[in-house]
Structure 1
Amino acid sequence: MSDATEEGGLYPPERVARAQEAARDAGLDALLVTPGADLRYLTGYQALPLERLTCLVVPAEADPFLVVPALEKAAAEASPAGRLGIEITGFAETDDAYELVARRLPPGTTRFAVDNHMWAEKLLAFQDALPRARAGLAGDVLAGLRMRKSAAEVEALRRAGAAIDRVHRRMGEWLRPGRTEREIARDVADAILAAGHATVDFVIVGSGPNGASPHHEVSDRVVRAGDPVVVDIGGTTPDGYCSDSTRTYAVGEPPAEFRELYEVLQGAQAAQTGAVRPGITAQELDAVGRDRIAAAGYGEHFIHRTGHGIGLETHEEPYIVAGSARPLEPGMAFSVEPGIYLPGRFGARIEDIAVCTEAGGERLNLTGRDLVVLPA
C-alpha cells in the first residue's frame, strides 16, 4: 500500500471501534470477519482467502483480535492491521483455530455475525465450535458503516474514476470494424492496468445485437460498420477502491432509430445524475430516469436497476432500485446507469459514478455523455 494511501486515512483505526459499537447496538456478542472487503475496510489488511482461517474477531464487550495462520503472522503485522493496536494471534498447523476463537469469546456468547462472503466451510466450523450460539450476517451491521464514504474514500473513488476515464478516452485506438470483441477487450484490459489500476475486474464489449445483453462481456463477433457498441469497464486501484463506467459508441453512422433511443437514454441519465441530493430515496432516483424512458415507449427495455453502491467492492450498498425507500445521505457513492436494450438489434447504457454531497451530487466520471461516433 502506498504512503499516500496511509496518509490519506483510507483505513483509520477507529473503524474497528465503530464496528464494535454497531455490533452492541444490534444485540450481537461478536463479529467474525474473514478475508474480503469487510476485513480490508476494518483493518486495511488484504488477506488472501485460503483454507486456513484468517479472522478478525470483534467481541461486543472485549478487545478485538486478529487470528491468522502462524506462517502469515509477519505479513499481517506488516500490513496496516499491524498499526491498529490490536492483538494479532498466530496459530500452528495442528491447532484448531475455530476452537481458539470460541475459547476467547466472552462466556455466554449466543449471537455472532459473520461477513457475508465467509466460505460455507468456515461458517459451519464456527457453528460446530459455538453450538449454543446463533449466526447472522455482519453485512447487516457493516453496510451502514461502509456505505457512507469518508472524504479520503471519496478521493480514492475520484482517482479511480479518473483512471477509467483515461481508458474510455482512448477507445478509438481499438474499436474499429474488422476486429472481434475479444481482441478489443484484450487491448482495453491492458489499458486499464496502464491507467493505474492494480487489477482488471471486468471488460464488457457488446457490439451490435450483443449490446442488448447488459452483462454480455465479450465474444468472437466481428465489429461491423454502423454497429453501436456498449463498453462497460472497471478495475480496482492499489488503494483498494473500484472504478466502473459505461459509454456507448458507434462505429460509423448507426441506425436512425438507435440515435433516437440514445437521445432518450442520455436525457434520462442526465436527469438522474442531476437529481442526486440528500433525502431523495433510492426508488425516487430510480424513477427519475425510468419514468422518462417509459414515457418514450422504452419502459419494458430498461431491465435492470439504476445503480449500485461502489467502494471496496464494485457492487455494494446502497442499491438504486425500485422498492428501496433508503434516503440518500452525504458520502454515499453509487452508479447511475440506465440502459435501453432491444433484443436482437442493439442496446445502449450510460454509467457514471456519483457521490451524494451536502450540496447535491458530484459526478466522478467526467468523459462526455454524447454518443461518440468513431471512424468506420
Structure 2
Amino acid sequence: MTTSRGDFIRKMGAGLASSRTSDSTLAAARHGDGQESLTSGNSERLLHQDPDHVEPAPVGYDRLPLEWHQMRTRTLKECLADCGAEAVLLNTDQNIVYFTGCFRGSGERPTWSLFPTQEEDTVYWYSPGIDRDLIESWWCTENEYYFGYPHAEGGFPNRGQVVQGPTVDLFEWMLQGVRSRGLGGGTIAVDWSLSESQIASVSKVIPGTRFVNVQADCLSMQQIKTSEELRLSQRAYRYFDRIHAFARDYILERGTDLTDFELGQALQGFGIELLMNDVIADGRPHSAVGIEVTSNYVRAGIASAYPHPNQFFYQKLERGQTMYVNCDIKLGGMGGECYRNYLIGPWTSEQERMWEVVAETIQIQEEESKAGAVCSDIAAKIHQHQVDAGMAEYIYHRPAHGQGQFFSGHQPPFIALGDYSVLEENMTFSMEPGLYDAARGIGINPSDNLRVIADRGVRFSSVPFSKEWSLLEL
C-alpha cells in the first residue's frame, strides 16, 4: 500500500462518492498489509490517553449482551421490592431498550413491556405489528400485537382479515392483556404518570389496581454507568479520537478549498467506515445496533456563534474565522459528544482570549467533577470564572448535561445553577462551557464525555484542549 494520507484526503475532496472509495482503501490498509493508518499524521501523534481511562471493550463486543439487560431488569425488581409490585410495566422507549435490549422506537405506535416480579427473566410485549419480527426474535416470552395505529378491531390484513371494525382503545387493550395473565388488583410499577382517562380505564378493566410511578428508580439506574457501559463507551471514544485527528488533518490539507458541509460528510464517512470495519454486521436485527457518527452540526464562520443554529451549513472555510467540528458517536448505544473548535489564522486577540477562557473552564469542570460535589457548585465556579474574565455577555447556557445512553442524549443531573444533585462515581457528563459572540462571528464550545471518579473527572477522549491542536495556520 503506497497511498499517502495526503492522497487519501485529496481523493475525499472530490466528493462523497470519492470519500466512500477512499474509505474502502483505508479499510484495506488497516486490515490488509498491516501498515499504519493513513490518517496517522501529525494529528494522531498529538492524542494523549488518560491513565485513568477504563479498558475499552474488545472488538466483537459491539453491544451490551442480552444477559446484561436481564441482569438490570432483575436489579430493578429488587429495588422495587418494598412497594410490593406484582409487575413492572414499561412504556417509554428509553426504558424499554435499557431493560430489554431491543433497539426500536415506538413513534406514535404505543408499546408496553411487562415484567411480572414473581417470574424470572420473562417479558410480555404489547406492541405494534410492524415490529413483531424485531421483538419476537429478541427477548420475548410472548408478544401480543395490534396491526396498525389507529387499530381497527379485528383488522389484521397480514392474517387475511381486512376488517373495518371500531377503533380500539389500545391502553384498554393492553390492560386486558395484563388481566389475562392473572395480574391486577394489586400494585403495578410503571414509568409514567397515568392520565385521567387512563385512570378511568384501569377502574374499568382491572379495578382496585394501584399504579405507582417508578421512573425515578429507572433513571437512577441509568445515571450510574456500569463497567460494561463504560468500557463500550471507551471503545467508541477510541474511534472518536481518530475521527477528530482525521478532521484536523483534513482541514490542514484542504485549507480554504473546503466547506463545512464537505468536512462533515468526510468525517462521517471516515468514522462509519472505521467503526464498521470492526463491528459484526450480518444485516439481520440486533447486530450493528445503536451506531451513529453525526456530522450535521459541523459549521464554519459566523454559524459557530449560535449555540442552537437553525440554518443549513454550507460555508467555505476562511482565514481569520472558526471551524467547529461538532459530532457525536455511539456504538451499541454507548458514547456521546466530542466537539473541538479551530481558530484559523490570522486570529484576533479577542478570538484567542475567548478560546483561552473556555479552555480554563474545561479544566475547572475536570477538577471539580469529583464524587460528592454538587452540580450547582460546579456550575457556579465555571460561570464565575467566565464573568471574572469579562465574558458575561457571551454566556448562553449551563456548562453541561448528564450524558445518557441509547435514546437519551441529555440525561439528569445537569451542571446548572438550579440543580443541587450530588455527583456519584461513574456518572457521565458533557463538557460545554461555551461562549458565543455573534457580533464578531465566533463561538467556542468544545465538548467531551466526562466520567466522575473519586477525586476528579476523567475525559473519555484523548483529543487535546490545547492551542497546538486548535490554533491552525493554513
| TM-score, reference length from structure 2 | 0.67
Identity of aligned residues (%): 20
Of 192, 201, 217 in structure 2, the residue corresponding to residue 141 of structure 1 is: 217
Using the alignment, how far apart are the partners of 1:52 and 1:303 within structure 2? 36
**Counterparts in 2 of 1:350 and 1:53: CA distance versus 1, 3 Å:** closer
Contact 1:246 1:352 in 2 (8 A): yes
CA distance, structure 2, for counterparts of residue 8 and residue 135 of structure 1: 30
Q: Please identify, of 211-220 and 107-116, the stretch whose mean Cα deviation from structure 2 is larger.
A: 107-116
Contact 1:98 1:125 in 2 (8 A): no
Aligned to 1:113: 190
How far apart, in 1, do the equivalents of 2:62 and 2:195 lie? 32
Q: Distance in 2 between matches of 1:151 and 1:353?
A: 15
Q: How big is the shift at 1:271? A: 1.8
Contact kept, 8 Å, 1:335 with 1:354, in 2: the verdict is yes
The aligned residue for residue 355 of structure 2 is 262
Using the alignment, how far apart are the partners of 2:83 and 2:326 within structure 1?
Answer: 38
Please tell me whether residue 33 in structure 1 is matched to residue 90 in structure 2: yes
* Number of the residue aligned with 2:457: 361
- Correspondence for 2:268 among 189, 195, 207: 189
Q: Which of 302, 307, 310 is residue 209 of structure 1 equivalent to?
A: 302
SS of the residue corresponding to residue 56 of structure 1 reads strand
Give the CA deviation at 1:213. 0.6
* Distance (whole Å) between structure 1 residues aligned to residue 79 and residue 393 of structure 2: 41
Q: CA deviation at 1:115?
A: 5.5
Tell me the residue number matched to 2:231.
155
> Does 2:324 match 1:324?
no
Q: Tell me how far 1:139 sits from its aligned partner.
A: 3.6
Cα offset, 1:64, TM superposition: 5.1
Matched residue SS, 1:11: helix
Q: 1:86-120: per-residue Cα shift (whole Å, max 9, x none)?
A: x322335356653343131533367763469xxxx
The residue aligned with 1:102 is 175
**CA spacing shift, 1:89–1:249, aligned 2, 3 Å:** same
User: What is the rounded CA distance, in whole Å, between the counterparts of 1:189 and 1:123 in structure 2?
Assistant: 42
Q: Aligned equivalents of 2:91 and 2:295: distance in 1?
A: 24
Equivalent position SS for 1:344: coil
| Within-5 A mapping of 1:237-256 | 237=331, 239-256=332-349
Q: Is 2:385 the counterpart of 1:292?
A: yes
Alignment of 1:76 with 2:171, yes or no, is no
Show structure 1 runs of 5+ residues with no match. 117-121
Give the partner amino acid of 2:384. Answer: D
The one-letter amino acid of 1:130's match is: V
8 A contact 2:84–2:187 mirrored in 1: no
Deviates more, 1:126-135 or 1:222-231: 126-135
Q: Which residue of 2 aligns with 1:65?
A: 124
Secondary structure of 1:146's partner? helix
- 3-state SS, counterpart of residue 420 of structure 2: coil
Conserved 8 A contact 1:281-1:325: yes
DSSP 3-state at the match of 2:396: coil
Partner of 1:235: 329
The aligned residue for residue 347 of structure 1 is: 443
The reply on whether 1:223 has 2:317 as its aligned counterpart is: yes
Moved more, 104-113 or 171-180: 104-113
Q: How many Å separate the matches in 1 of 2:87 and 2:447?
A: 38
- Report the counterpart of residue 119 of structure 1 in structure 2: none
SS of the residue 1:152 aligns to: helix
Please tell me the residue identity of whatever aligns with 2:142. I
CA contact (8 A) 1:227 1:250 kept: yes
The 3 A distance-change label for structure 1 pair 295 and 92 is closer
The answer for the alignment partner of 1:56 in structure 2 is 113
- 1:46 pairs with 2:103: yes
Q: Which residue of the partner structure matches residue 285 of structure 2?
A: none
Q: Which amino acid aligns with 2:266?
A: D
Residue of structure 1 equivalent to 2:202: 130
Q: Which moved more, 1:265-274 or 1:207-216?
A: 207-216
Using the TM superposition, name which of 87-96 and 11-20 deviates more: 87-96
Contact 1:336–1:351 (CA<8 Å) still a contact in 2? yes
Q: Which amino acid aligns with 1:340?
A: L
Picking from 1, 9, 14, the partner of 2:71 is: 14
Of 91, 96, 102, which aligns to 2:145? Answer: 91
Once the two structures are TM-superposed, the CA of residue 12 in structure 1 deviates from its matched residue by: 3.5
* Structure 1 residue 212 displacement after superposition: 1.2
Q: Secondary structure at the match of 1:39?
A: helix
Name 2:471's counterpart in structure 1.
373
In structure 2, what is the Cα distance between the partners aligned to 1:6 and 1:190?
Answer: 21
Flag the 1:359–1:265 CA change in 2: closer, same or farther, 3 A: closer
1:282/1:322 contact within 8 Å kept? yes
**TM-score under structure 1 length normalisation:** 0.83
Tell me if 1:309 matches 2:386: no
Query: Shift in Å at residue 288 of structure 1?
Result: 2.6
* Offset, 1:306: 1.2
Query: What secondary structure, in the 3-state scheme, does the structure 2 residue paired with 1:170 have?
Result: helix
Alpha carbons of structure 1 residues 123 and 58: separation in structure 2 relative to 1, 3 Å? farther
SS in 2 for 1:155: helix
Structure 2, unaligned runs of 5 or more: 1-58, 148-152, 155-167, 277-290
